[in-house]
Amino acid sequence: MTLESLDAKSLRGIVVAFADALTVHREAINNLNVYPVPDGDTGTNMSLTLRSVVEEIESREDEMVSLCEGIAHGSLMGARGNSGVIMSQILRELSQAIAACSAIDGAVLANGLAAAAKGAYEAVGKPVEGTILTVIRESAEAAAAAVARGEELCGVLSAARDEAMASLERTPTLLSVLADAGVVDAGGAGLLLLYHAALHIVDGQPIPEPTTTSPLEARAPATADATKSETSIADLRYEVMFLLDAADEKITDFKEAWSLVGDSIVVVGGGGLHNCHIHCDDIGAAIECAIAVGRPHKIRVTDLLDELTQNEEQHWVVEALEPSETHQTTVRTAVVAVGVGSGVAELFKSLGVQVVVAGGQSMNPSTKELLAAVESVQAPEVVILPNNKNIIPVAQQVDQHSARTVVVVGTTSVPEALGCLMAYDPQSGAAGNAESMARTARSVQSGEVTQAVRNANSDVGVINEGDWLGICPQGIMAVAPEMFDAVVGLLAEIIHADHELLTIISGASADDQITASIEGWVNRNHPTLDVESHFGGQPLYPYFFGLE
């Protein structure tokens, strides 16, 4: 039987069905990523964000206000990465718009979708068409048109779903990077599943499985074409997130200043407290804009090129980072760091880190998980090292939910974290530690080597699937069929005369002979440079490099 309106019970069913659908489609959405490094984070982040929502509403009664509050709170606490933050904003605006209604008919739903679209656009400083923003706006407009035609709930949902599908298919015509990669927008693909889930509950329609003809399935990667130089796969390196205490009337000027610093700007909040997100190359400039209008805190920085796949990370979490008994001593400021690999965890702990949270690019820890780590330490103040650009915005949410003082140092890689830990003083305050640690982290030149998972273009040439990539914060520096050649190509670009120490962190797939060859190359070509080698055990990245 087709429902004429939604009550709290059926709304709960939609949320659960949406979360389940994202789980099923997770890999298909991940495969829509346009970058050739092993990442696939969009589907994973959206799936885990919705799983947090489901966990939040499990204990709530089937009462509309309580359930909508649970959806809003669960999405805030569970938001992971940029895609999760945007989906969280959509769910929060939608749930707030419908919370006062005991029954949700087509008109109420259309109004809620309009509020969600408006809120999503307002949160993004420089909205980009051809993304999830376009899909939510155009589907909301279709829902409003259906109401104007006299459609009931099912008709309104069908109109929104159909327009979302059409809008998603049009995203490559609006965003050239999607067209060049032969994919549709991953975030929009995730949003489409919300409409499928709603129609499943309202009208019993099946939720489609990922197929080769579905817009939720990755297209075949476009053949690398060296003539398409405008499609760089490494434009903006860092994701910076923080909470900003500032008067609401100053936010417009703040957004305008930020528009000169970077892109993917999202600013949400009000009443003097704002959650801010940007992709940029200059971390300091992004933070200075905030200082000009107020007080930024809970600063998190993530390296957008530090990509890992969830399945590999979960395997290594089980093998390497399973919690063990530790006896923490009471300090003024403790450090919580994010990382994966048994050696990475041991390196962190040897430098004073109290808790290591398992995670990386596509296994982004949630706000809840980072908060639990913060609450477990024996210290009134805490510094979080995210070590990945996508984790910074999530880490910045922790302070407002903890009685402890929590500060985020925007480390975007493991080498940066290791470098900044040299400035850590457990008996000093979090603010002072954060300042000195961030200054030290900025002095570290990091690099990494991984293998391309698809064909692509780059500023240094064509990339074929299986090639080895040498990557640093400035982008891809080397492409080669052999790992060693990619390593020396990278090191030749990033080692400068003023560097004194090279730290090599070998991953699970590193080769002892290649490691020895790397050390030999450095000794021959840079004889004054000291070299330290450590086992990290990280998956997918055979080598991390840190230069100081």
Q: Shortest CA distance to 321 belongs to which of 290, 353, 284? A: 353
**Dist CA 162 CA 301 (whole Å):** 38
**Dist CA 440 CA 298 (whole Å):** 18
pLDDT average per 10 residues of sequence, the chain (548 residues): 94 96 88 62 82 90 94 81 82 94 95 95 81 96 98 97 97 88 90 97 94 42 36 56 84 88 75 76 81 80 50 34 46 92 88 86 73 91 92 87 94 93 94 95 93 83 91 91 96 94 91 92 94 87 93
Is residue 393 within 8 A of residue 300, CB to CB? The reply is yes
Q: What is the DSSP letter of 66?
A: H
**Dist CA 314 CA 323 (whole Å):** 14
**Dist CA 316 CA 192 (whole Å):** 32
DSSP result, 87-155? HHHHHHHHHHHHTT-SSB-HHHHHHHHHHHHHHHHHHBSS--SSSHHHHHHHHHHHHHHHHHTT--HHH
Give how far Cα 324 sits from Cα of 273, 318, 399, Å: 38, 12, 26
End-to-end CA distance of the chain: 67
Question: In the structure encoding, which two tokens stand for residue 202, read together?
Answer: 């309202």
**Dist CA 117 CA 132 (whole Å):** 10
Q: Provide the residue count of the chain.
A: 548
Tokens 């305008």, located at residue = 256
Rg (CA), the chain: 23
Q: Is the dihedral of CA 101, 106, 108, 110 positive or negative?
A: positive
Q: Which CATH fold topology does 238-442 show? A: Rossmann fold (3.40.50)
**Dist CA 166 CA 184 (whole Å):** 11
CATH 3.40.50.1820 fits 8-203, yes or no: no
Equal CATH topology for 8-203 and 238-442: no
Q: Residue 463 in 3-state DSSP?
A: strand
Q: What is the DSSP letter of 305?
A: T
**Dist CA 69 CA 66 (whole Å):** 5
Q: Residue 16 in 3-state DSSP?
A: helix
Q: Which CATH fold topology does 445-547 show? A: Hypothetical Protein Tm841; Chain: A;domain 3 (3.30.1180)
- Which amino acid is it at 403? A
**What are the residue boundaries of the structural domains of the chain, listed by start?**
8-203, 238-442, 445-547
Q: According to the model, what pLDDT value does residue 45 have? A: 80
- Which amino acid is it at 286? A
